[in-house]
Amino acid sequence: MEKLIKLEGVEPIDFFGVNNVRFNKLKSYFTDLKIISRGNELKISGDKKRVELFDEKVQLIIKYIAKFKQVSMADIDELLNGESGYQVESAGSRDEVLVYGERSKVVKAITLHQKELVKNSLENDLILAVGPAGTGKTYTAIALAVKALKNREVKRIILTRPAVEAGEKLGYLPGDFKEKLDPYLQPLFDALRDMIAAKKLLQFIEDNTIEIAPLAYMRGRTLDDAYVILDEGQNTTVSQLKMFLTRMGPDAKFIVTGDITQIDLPGKQQSGLIQAMKILEGIKGISIVRFDEQDIMRHKLVKQIVKAYSKNDENDIGY
């Protein structure tokens, strides 16, 4: 079967993406079809059912762009993986936008456990978000914090990490203590830059509306009227995490994120996050969200890597 599809009601650049990145993603799902693009037209040939399915998916993507004004690679994956007849309207109501970020970036919960994290944040003041790398735990948590700040639900955001090295030594790096820590805290800066304009972010950091600091800087403080996120929580000792959790002041929200399969604590020290998961579960106001490989949104091989390591880990804890 051969069919000509016109991209009506959408700008070609919005559909194809820069350097055809979105179009190439679409073609990767239909390698059995011959697909030729000319301007705002697609010429498709191949098995009749597959051509019709391709046409259906193209129309879904067009509807999605028309409704939300843009489409991410993750959105395309969801549209292409959805069952026949997947409704864009239901996707829109299900995927509430958390933040409209820089360059018109729409930040929203996409995967099952990202959505669970968003839902639980409305009902609980402390959340432990645990799971493998690339699942969007920290990114979603930061989006929730930025949303709360923009809505004036809190007065400040505090982001922190324990200064534990992943097989490297801070002392070997050039520069003073701040310069050594800046690269370590870079992932937190990167997420914020996606969601807040550069000038505004700099202003927030200068006036301490947004604070990014090592965990040791939290000792002795009361963190109130703030959204506080502890990243890499698996690398806290029992006493460190207890210290952090007891900093919670009035009108504060705390989220601890971590991957208990990547603990870098020296010696045989127990991870504070693992202990917290055991002793805090079931307490009203505290929620534990367990991410898994289905939430991974990095390169498709990351899911396979996580699965392979999980199978090979004889000491897999099972969370």
Query: Per-residue pLDDT averaged across 243-248, rounded?
Result: 95
Answer yes or no: are the C-beta atoms of 51 and 43 closer than 8 Å: no
Instruction: For the chain, give percent helix, strand, coil, nearest 5.
Output: 50, 20, 35
Beta bridge partners of 2: 45
Query: What are the angstrom distances between the C-alpha of 44 and each of 4, 14, 51, 173?
Result: 6, 20, 7, 55
Query: Per-residue pLDDT averaged across 27-32, rounded?
Result: 92
The pLDDT value recorded for residue 204 is 93
Nearest to 243 by CA among 217, 277, 281: 217
Query: Per-residue pLDDT averaged across 273-280, rounded?
Result: 96
pLDDT at 9 over 90: no
Three-state DSSP state, 233: helix
pLDDT at 234 over 90: yes
Chain mean pLDDT for the chain? 84
Distance separating alpha carbons of residues 89 and 92, to the nearest angstrom: 5
Q: Which tens digit of pLDDT belongs to each residue from 151-188?
A: 899 999 999 988 764 444 445 555 544 555 566 678 88
The pLDDT value recorded for residue 13 is 86
Buried b (16+ CB within 10 A) or exposed e, 97-106: ebbebbeeeb
pLDDT at 209 over 50: yes
Q: Which of 111-115, 203-207, 305-309 has the lowest mean pLDDT?
A: 305-309
pLDDT at 284 over 60: yes
Three-state DSSP state, 106: strand
Distance separating alpha carbons of residues 14 and 75, to the nearest angstrom: 13
pLDDT at 307 over 50: yes
Q: Which residue has the higher pLDDT, 85 or 300?
A: 300
Q: Which residue has the higher pLDDT, 31 or 100?
A: 31
pLDDT at 300 over 90: no
> Angle at the Cα of 66 (from 3 to 8), degrees rounded to 5?
35
Q: How confident is the model at residue 294 (pLDDT cuts 50, 70, 90)?
A: confident
Output the CA torsion 21→26→27→28 (10° steps): 90
Q: Which residue has the higher pLDDT, 279 or 80?
A: 279
